[in-house]
Amino acid sequence: MPLNIEKIRGDFPILQTQVHGKPLVYLDNAATTQKPQVVIDAVTDYYTTMNSNIHRGSHYLANLATEAHENARKTVQKFINAQYDHEVIFTRGTTESINLVAFSFGEAFIHPGDEVIVTELEHHSNFVPWQMLCERRNAHLRMVPMTKDGELDLEVYANLLNEKTRMVAFNHVSNSLGTINPAKKIIQMAHDAGAAVCVDAAQSIQHIDHDVRDLDADFYVFSGHKMYGPTGIGVLYGKEKWLDAIPPYQGGGDMIDQVTLEKTTYNKLPFKFEAGTPNIVGPIGLAAAIDYLNSLPFDEIMAYEDNLLEYGRGLLQNIDGLTLYGNAKKRTSILAFNIKGIHHYDVGTLLDTQGVAVRTGHHCTQLIMKALGVSGTVRPAIALYNTKEELDTFEAALHKVKKMLGK
């Protein structure tokens, strides 16, 4: 049966908001998604019925909270098809997950003269940590360029891979262009060269299929708030062999086994990488978001969002002076554009006066903006609760923006 979009929209209370007297059209989903009532209820329920620190308590509330937290880890494991639940590490978000891998993997496996490969499509959070690692370890950072259509140049990538390559880091979906990168092929090529791989799934986890074992990803990272969950919670999946082989990222409580003046030994996985009191409610809210997504037919979500994306592209292509960015053969969710003679920030500000929420700027992808020859773009991004009627409203609002500015 097709998705019941009106019912889905009713699950997200914020979508009933009025902005400047107009119904909210929320198209800033690549920055963060809205939350269904079940997620809000899960967070509230934790604070009202089981609020306690976890793992070391011996009382009723501590046991409740610990069980809910660790059940959330199992929920994530099943959602991404990890082999073990201890391969799921909870972090603050995608950025912390990548920094953890860059630091800990770097400490163990990156030496002077080694090479790390990133791509021109990366968010700064999947570029700067690797750059910092290379500076710290006297290694070399290499970059796979993108084509004019916003796809990775895999011929250049193949030529960059060599016996010195230790890590390849790339995003599954570009947050600025919506390009769906051929993750499985990129990973296989890296493995054939003897390199490990870290996949940034922040923009893919909610839009396309995700199976870490099918991809054969070594590390796979994402954030809860991009997939209808709370902010401040992220996931690092790592193959057991890698998580065992790399040192902890932070020291503190819960990540230790034995502490003496002479030496500290570390806790077993996953706690080795979860120092201090965690964001206990974050995984609980994330699990509620996953349960919500699992209640819907994911193939129908993908088809619906693909249809919306192409409908939106068709609308924008009819606007004089508008340039669309990102023409990859495989793409999802993102409608990035500029209008000739109008600054992207002005477009976003004037759209807001009409109740339409979009993101403007360089989207933490200055490498992409430089390649496009622009300072930034307007970036509407769709989610499963958006509609064609909202995109029609968005198009009409753009025409008003042009008229207001005499363009």
What is the Cα gyration radius of the chain?
22
| C-alpha to C-alpha distance for 97 and 88, rounded to whole angstroms | 11
Paired strand residues for 168: 117, 197
SS3 258: strand
- Domain spans of the chain, in order of start: 5-29+297-404, 40-294
Kind of pairing, strands 22-23 and 18-19?
Answer: antiparallel
Instruction: Please give the helix or strand (H or E) that residue 103 lies within, else none.
Output: helix 94-109
Instruction: Say which CATH architecture domain 5-29+297-404 belongs to.
Output: Alpha-Beta Complex (3.90)
- Answer whether 246's CB lies under 8 Å from 105's CB: yes
| C-alpha to C-alpha distance for 266 and 248, rounded to whole angstroms | 8
Total residue length of the chain = 407
Q: What's the chain's average pLDDT?
A: 97
SS3 166: strand
Paired strand residues for 173: 180
Question: Binning pLDDT at 50, 70 and 90, where does residue 105 land?
Answer: very high
Q: How would you label 312-345 residue by residue, b for 16+ Cβ within 10 Å and e otherwise?
A: bbebbeebeebebbbebeebbbbbbbbbeebebe
CATH no. for 40-294: 3.40.640.10
- Answer whether 126's CB lies under 8 Å from 200's CB: yes
End-to-end Cα separation, the chain, in angstroms? 44
Cis peptide bond N-terminal to 278, omega within 30: no
| C-alpha to C-alpha distance for 143 and 168, rounded to whole angstroms | 10
Per DSSP, the residues of 259-311 read E-SS-EEEPPTTGGG--SS--THHHHHHHHHHHHHHTS-HHHHHHHHHHHHHH
Stretch among 2-6, 331-335, 339-343, 345-349 having the lowest mean pLDDT? 2-6
Residue 1, pLDDT score: 54
Provide the residue type at 110 as one letter.
Answer: I
Residue 22, pLDDT score: 97
Residue 347, pLDDT score: 97
Residue 315 above 60 pLDDT?
Answer: yes
Residue 57, pLDDT score: 80
* Closest CA relative to residue 225, chosen from 308, 282, 278: 282
pTM of the entire predicted model: 0.96
pLDDT tens sequence across 23-72:
999 999 999 999 999 999 999 999 999 999 999 888 999 999 999 999 99
SS3 299: helix
| C-alpha to C-alpha distance for 39 and 285, rounded to whole angstroms | 5
- Answer whether 357's CB lies under 8 Å from 380's CB: no
The arithmetic mean of pLDDT across residues 320-345, rounded, is 97
pLDDT tens sequence across 129-188:
999 999 999 999 999 999 999 999 999 999 999 999 999 999 999 999 999 999 999 999
Provide the residue type at 21 as one letter.
Answer: G
Residue 407 above 80 pLDDT?
Answer: no
67: Cβ contacts below 8 Å, ≥ 6 apart:
none
Residue 271 is given by DSSP the state G
The arithmetic mean of pLDDT across residues 203-229, rounded, is 97
Residues annotated as catalytic (active site), given as ranges:
364
